[in-house]
Amino acid sequence: MKRAPIYGTMAEFDSPTALVAAAHRTHEAGYQKVDAYSPFPIEGLAEAVGFHKNRVPLVTLIGGLIGGLSGYLLQYWVSTSSYPVNVGGKPYHSWPAFIIVTFEMTILFAGISAVFGMLALNGLPMPYHPVFNVPRFAFATKDRFFLIVFASDPKYSPAETRRFLESLGGRAISEVPD
């Protein structure tokens, strides 16, 4: 009989302090691909699981620069090449008149790129996630805290990882099918 592929091994904890301590020990043990789930934000948990800074600010900056540049260049092209109109002796390339539209296009493109960059970098929308296959994971929104070590981690071994998570004092250890 063929066995279903494993997504990872998950441990359940009773308190946020136990989860943070377990996450620290897991990261110190050399596991790199871990994640934690809790019903509310826990200070220090992101650092404990090795969460790195994201790239949304960079995506927003690039989007804003593209928006500002495209707004300015569109106005320059229209006023100097496509539809040059001499109003009161003003030069065709009158950059002070371009500032408002350039600013608005910068804000528009930065906002749109921030939203779509956040969605793309978070892998959203995600209508299905393998952790929902574990029946006890339903308590993650109530009063339980979970730590998962992914099977894609280079140090992952089903038996060894299970023993390690049991040594952390988890309430229940579960294999997460993919």
Query: How does the average pLDDT of the chain come out, rounded?
Result: 93
Domain CATH number, residue 23: 3.30.70
Cβ atoms of 1 and 171 within 8 Å: the answer is: no
What pLDDT is recorded for position 20?
95
- The CB-based long-range contact list for 135-140 (8 Å cut-off, 24+ gap) reads 136/12, 136/172, 136/174, 137/10, 137/37, 139/12, 140/37, 140/38, 140/39
* Whether residues 41 and 76 fall in one domain: no
Q: Whole-model pTM? A: 0.76
Share of the chain above pLDDT 70, in %: 98
* Whether residues 95 and 142 fall in one domain: no
Q: Is 165 strand, coil or helix?
A: helix
Cβ atoms of 72 and 98 within 8 Å: the answer is: yes
Per-residue pLDDT reduced to its tens digit, 124-136? 998 889 999 999 9
Domain end position, chosen among 74, 100, 121: 121
* Whether residues 106 and 153 fall in one domain: no
Domain end position, chosen among 102, 121, 140: 121
The total of other beta-carbon atoms located within 10 Å of residue 108's CB is 15
Domain end position, chosen among 121, 149, 169: 121
Q: Which of 99, 53, 106 is nearest to 75 (CA)?
A: 99
* Whether residues 38 and 89 fall in one domain: no
Q: Which of 165, 60, 79 is nearest to 118 (CA)?
A: 60
* Whether residues 89 and 76 fall in one domain: yes
> Quick check: is 1 in a domain?
no
What pLDDT is recorded for position 87?
83
* Whether residues 138 and 101 fall in one domain: no
93: domain range?
A: 56-121
Rounded distance, CA 19 to CA 129, Å? 21
pLDDT higher than 70, residue 2: no
Angle among Cα 54, 42, 166 to the nearest 5 degrees reads 100
Beta bridge partners of 10: 148, 174
**Counted domains in the chain:** 2
What pLDDT is recorded for position 1?
57
What pLDDT is recorded for position 52?
79
* Whether residues 71 and 99 fall in one domain: yes
* Whether residues 77 and 89 fall in one domain: yes
What pLDDT is recorded for position 86?
87
